[in-house]
Amino acid sequence: MERTFETLKNEIKSCQKCDLCLTRKNTVFGDGIAKTKLLFVGEAPGQMEDEMGLPFVGRSGKLLDKMLAAVDISRTKNMFITNIVKCRPPNNADPTDTQRQACAEYLKQQIDLISPKVIVCVGRIAATSLINPDFRVTKDHGKIYKKGEIDFMGTFHPSALLRFPQNKEEAFKDFLTLKSFLAQLS
């Protein structure tokens, strides 16, 4: 069967590749425009996301949406957003290497279907998984990393911005950089 967003979403719904399937309420596939230049990847669903089956719908997600809206980027218009792992780790623990690896093929298939030009890694877990294991958000955020056909950028996780609001300005600069980078892509 040809793999589409729907078939992949259904496959993920019944996934039992790692222990997170035992505690999840819902899998969180992602949200936004299916064919877009711009893909955001976060870490893992939290409590609200697990309950609603949608990514970044809690407090930190609302902050991210608000900052992106200011540069005219939104999931209803021009981006897709998902996570490294599709199920909530209990107590919002960092997803383990085993959990990340179990889910990696799903993200790869999402990337193949979406075919984004730019992937923004939201926070340390996404950036160390997708850009470079040594990625340091405070030092490396906002830089463009070319990997094959796709350009990557890492930025602050919005939950870190809620804890350290002094970094919001730097994070917003990343989104301005992103916006002008996107504008010069064909």
61 binds ligand URA per the rule CB under 6 A = yes
Give the CA distances from residue 45 to residues 88, 90, 96, 179, in Å, rounded to whole numbers and listed in that order. Answer: 5, 10, 14, 26
CB 8 within 8 A of CB 34: no
95 touches ligand URA (CB under 6 A): no
| Number of residue whose CB is nearest ligand URA | 42
Among positions 29, 40, 56, 175, the unique one binding ligand URA when judged by CB under 6 A: 56
Q: Give the number of other Cβ atoms within 10 Å of residue 113's Cβ.
A: 16
Question: Cα separations (Å) of 75 from 49, 79, 124, 147?
Answer: 15, 5, 22, 24
**Per CB under 6 A, which region of 55-63, 95-103, 109-117, 136-144 contacts ligand URA?**
55-63
Stretch that binds ligand URA, among 52-60, 66-74, 164-172, 173-181 (CB under 6 A): 52-60
Region of 2-10, 14-22, 56-64, 160-168 interacting with ligand URA (CB under 6 A): 56-64
Strand, helix or coil at 132? coil
Identify the residue whose tokens are 């290497």. 97
Q: Which of 29, 65, 83, 86 binds ligand URA (CB under 6 A)?
A: 83
**Which is nearer to ligand URA, 60 or 116 (by Cβ)?**
60
**Pick from 103, 81, 58, 77: which is nearest to 155 by CA?**
81
Least distance CB 2 / ligand URA (angstroms): 28
Pick the piece of the chain touching ligand URA (CB under 6 A) from 42-50, 111-119, 136-144, 166-174. Answer: 42-50
Structure tokens at 136: 């340091």
Q: How far is the CB of 83 from ligand URA (least distance, A)?
A: 5
The alpha-carbon radius of gyration of the chain (Å, integer) is 15
Total number of residues binding ligand URA (CB under 6 A)? Answer: 12
Instruction: Give the integer Cα–Cα distance in Å for 154 and 102.
Output: 22
Site residues for ligand URA per CB under 6 A: 42-46, 49, 55-56, 58, 60-61, 83
